Structure 1
Amino acid sequence: MEKLLVEACLELTKHEALVGIQDMGAAGLVSSASEMAAKAGVGIHMNLDLIPQRETEMTPYEMMLSESQERMLIVIKKGSEEEIKQIFARWGLHAVAVGEVIEEEVLRLEHKGKIVADVPSDSLASAPVRHMPSKVPASYTANQNTPAWKPQVVDYAATIKKLLGQPTLASKEWVTRQYDYMVQTNTVVAPGSDAAVVRVRGTKKGLAMTTDCNAKYLALDPNVGGKIAVAEAARNIVCSGGRPLAITDCLNFGSPENPEVFWEIDESVKGMAKACEYLNTPVISGNVSLYNETDRGAIDPTPVVGMVGLVEDLDHVMTAPFKNEGDAVYVIGEAKPEFGGSALQIMTDGEASGKAPALDLDLEKSRQEKVLGAIKAGYVASAHDVSEGGLAAALAESVFGTAFGCDLRFATDPDVELFSETQSRYLITVPEAAKNDFEALIDDAVLVGSVTRSENLNLAFASSTITLNRNELENEWRGALSCIMSAKN
């Protein structure tokens, strides 16, 4: 039924008679009718006797609040009722006219010849604002004044291997192989890259989708962490060849009755809103889960961002793995000593401390536009954002599942270059023939080496050289989560 309704509504959206449409979720007809009327500055007169009912003698109260699924409320131009009914009939569905739009801004309900409700639509669609007490947590103030955390890495190969086995960085194949992500055979990019991509049948377009949130950043600074959640999701879409379109969110917090938790909620949402405005990604849906607490206290603020983007031409879809021997390897964005909430810090200390990485939204937007432009122009062979785990994780993930390694040289400190989680950074490979065009488009891209047909990643720094074995890293990365879950069982 749901599929039939979706297809019928898609057909309906192409009809010039459609004025408005809304699904019936929480509070059923009450919410959908009042929200549509209030947003338009009009009213609705509805005859409840005309509403299809599964039971006889349903009361007006029951009909208006019923949350029966697979239902939509639509507003169409007067005189087109029969045409619209025929659309739904073709899909085996029942559509009926139950009322009309009126000038007076009320929701007026008629039942058995009597007016049983006449309520201002705005009073139903809006709600009084509850002003909760808010307090800056002592932990936030302490972290803002904590000296910058510095890594103490002795064995880089062993550290990177252990890092890739952490639950948040390890391969998620243990999860994704338990469901059919190729259903309907529309999947173009399977789980494991920056974003999954599905084709839009009958076109050359695709939809890129990703989810992101680093709760450790939000634990340190919910405003900055909220911005980063949106920005990283957008980078993942861009690295897949898509233009970010919109987000849905899942806001997970502790009890809002705790002033410190409410402050986290407030700051997180403000940060997300700011990033959404900058990146032109409206919030089109979402949900809220509060009171997530144990005896040890509230969970870290975790506003998960789900983002969708448009790949205009599937010929330009992009993935993270290296593609060709000899391709030039570029890093976009300078690494800074930003380790607060980093994967390395969590692995080493067991908790986040200090300041979250800074985020410059102007720079973020500019780089996204440039990287997407380079991908569309055909200059890029692979693209991966540098995020959790820093460049060390990004490099490893780019060679997993391939026959490639790399020879790279950096003029910086390996601690900062490999493990910093400075924002707005990318790892890009470019065919030799496109290097000049790529560098002309992205002037802050730094050439650091080339892709090799080898199982080793050779990384040269100012005063040291690090050699990583792809197979050893990949074995740790692929097997970590299944080992963890097996141990729990």
Structure 2
Amino acid sequence: MLFIINPDNLDTVSKCFDKYNLQYSIIGKVTDTKHVIIINNGDMIVDLPTKLIANAPLINWPKTKPKYLDSKSVSKPELPVDIKETLLKVLSSPNLADKSWIFQQYDHEVGTNTIVKPGESGASVIRIAPEKFIAISVDGNPSHCYLDPYNGSAGVVAEAMRNVISVGAEPIAMLDHLQFGNPSNSDVFWTFNETIKSISDFCSYIGIPCVGGKVSFYNEDAKTHEAIKPSPVISVAGLIKGEHNLRTRKLHPSRPLIVMVGETFDELGGSEYYSSIGHSQAGIVPQLNFELEKRAQKLVRDSIKVGLFGAVNDCSKGGLIHSLLQMCTISDMGASIDLSSIPSNCKRWDELLFSESHSRFITTIKKENFTNLLNISRNHDIPVSIIGSIGGHDLQVYNKDDNLLSYDLDYIRSYVYDSLSKFMDGRI
């Protein structure tokens, strides 16, 4: 890894490397010559204008839209007969299961400065100075990126940003790790090109710099040469100023009302729901509206700063029901919601529960503060709605007066917390 630093900071950086027993060396310096000069054993072996290097001609790799994308439209499945069984199938997905089985095997503490630990929110938070914290999130969604590389890849960046915003941070930078098959395959290169374009477009629009990254090609089966799905992995770092701005998923009785920020659309393509019920991996993935995403993120940041929100959680993989259960299980507190109160264009309960639409958050608030939130939401042109309340020890889902679901949290928790270890052991 290469770093360019201010010479005044050399001693500080060196101490950091020494602390972790990392080898390093100073290999050069920045000049005003507008030339790149490389010296080897006293001999100058390269002397080229920076303009020539920075603007080298691009290879026009052949790229074609994969034919499979033209056959990925899909009719809706029949509504499941048993909503309880369906929910447990979705929650048992390794992609949604609690990941503590993994991170508890490692030291995930940094001294005593890990303030929000893995599992407590969509991002972890580390104290770097008094009243100053860094939030870090890592996200990926190969199912969405396979069906729609452009919207899928930009959506991964947006989700990573929402996760750091949910802990009270202002996103300040992102990194990408792009994993693809053989770039000489025109289908693979088309998906790679769409991925790069979408990440660049969204980051430019939202105003977050990409400060580094890595590309890994030739990820394919050695015999069949079948490539992996387009798999961009995005990490976003955010800055929190003031401990009073820190938030987690944890519910508290002082803010009993559950509020949905943003609108839910009929976007189940590539969802964990479709995968869990054995439906074809197809359909329309969530479409990312850049402007809508920007406004929703700003609304949540502004509301946290003025102290309106208690618990905050991004709503994405697994849909509304998974995000709500994350909050309930970590808090050991039940909740009751009414699907008819959710801002949406959906006509079915499975769309409302499991759609993975972007630009959404679940938050909690005091009743007397909802009018203030409505005023903020009008300023940002983002819908907000009270969809339920917290309390008890059951998860209750209604559609107006119709009780669709009632589950004890302890029973659900056994699926959420145990399914990953069972999957890794081959028990499911």
Q: Partner residue of 1:88?
A: none
Q: Is the 8 A contact 1:170 1:477 kept in 2?
A: yes
Residue 442, structure 1, aligned to residue 365, structure 2: no
Residue 422, structure 1, aligned to residue 357, structure 2: yes
| Partner of residue 354 from structure 1, selected from 265, 280, 283 | 283
Change (3 A) 1:111 1:216: closer
Q: TM-score, normalised by structure 1?
A: 0.77
Q: Is the 8 A contact 1:328 1:435 kept in 2?
A: no
Residue 367, structure 1, aligned to residue 321, structure 2: no
Residue 120, structure 1, aligned to residue 48, structure 2: yes
Deviations 1:359-403 (A, max 9, x none): 111010001001111011111011111101101101111101323
Q: Is the 8 A contact 1:325 1:404 kept in 2?
A: no
Q: Partner residue of 1:70?
A: 24
Same amino acid, percent of matched pairs: 29
| Partner of residue 457 from structure 1, selected from 392, 395, 408 | 395
Match of 1:347, as an amino acid? S
Deviation at 1:442, TM superposition (A): 2.1
Change (3 A) 1:118 1:265: closer
Q: Is the 8 A contact 2:255 2:365 kept in 1?
A: no
Residue 169, structure 1, aligned to residue 96, structure 2: yes
Deviations 1:301-321 (A, max 9, x none): 000001101111122111112
Deviation at 1:413, TM superposition (A): 3.6
Larger radius of gyration, structure 1 or 2? 1
**Superposition CA RMSD, Å:** 2.7
2: CA distance between counterparts of 1:435 and 1:197?
28
Change (3 A) 1:462 1:293: same
| Partner of residue 137 from structure 1, selected from 62, 66, 74 | 66
Match of 1:431, as an amino acid? K
Change (3 A) 1:243 1:116: closer
Match of 2:60, as an amino acid? H
Q: Partner residue of 1:391?
A: 320
Deviations 1:394-432 (A, max 9, x none): 111110132311122232642121011111111110123
Q: TM-score, normalised by structure 2?
A: 0.87
Query: Highest relative contact order (Cα 8 Å, sep 6+), 1 or 2?
Result: 2
Q: Is the 8 A contact 1:148 1:340 kept in 2?
A: no
Q: Partner residue of 1:279?
A: 206
Match of 1:469, as an amino acid? D
| Partner of residue 37 from structure 2, selected from 100, 107, 114 | 107
Change (3 A) 1:210 1:103: closer
Q: Partner residue of 2:245?
A: 316
- Give the number of aligned pairs: 404
Q: Partner residue of 2:234?
A: 305
Gaps of 5+ in 1: 16-20, 22-67, 77-100
Deviation at 1:462, TM superposition (A): 3.9
SS in structure 2 opposite 1:427?
Answer: strand
Match of 1:218, as an amino acid? C
Residue 209, structure 1, aligned to residue 132, structure 2: no
1: CA distance between counterparts of 2:82 and 2:254?
28
Q: Partner residue of 1:62?
A: none
Q: Is the 8 A contact 1:150 1:339 kept in 2?
A: no
Any residues of structure 2 matched to 1:461-480 within 5 Å, and which? 461-462=399-400, 464-465=402-403, 466-480=405-419
Residue 487, structure 1, aligned to residue 426, structure 2: yes
Q: Partner residue of 1:198?
A: 126
1: CA distance between counterparts of 2:268 and 2:304?
30
Deviation at 1:153, TM superposition (A): 1.7
Q: Is the 8 A contact 1:455 1:470 kept in 2?
A: yes
1: CA distance between counterparts of 2:259 and 2:197?
34
Change (3 A) 1:149 1:69: farther
2: CA distance between counterparts of 1:214 and 1:104?
41
Q: Partner residue of 1:189?
A: 116
SS in structure 2 opposite 1:293?
Answer: coil
Change (3 A) 1:368 1:110: closer
SS in structure 2 opposite 1:167?
Answer: coil
1: CA distance between counterparts of 2:412 and 2:78?
21
Gaps of 5+ in 2: 14-21, 341-346
Deviations 1:228-265 (A, max 9, x none): 01111111111110111111111001111110000000
Deviations 1:78-107 (A, max 9, x none): xxxxxxxxxxxxxxxxxxxxxxx4647352
Match of 1:195, as an amino acid? A
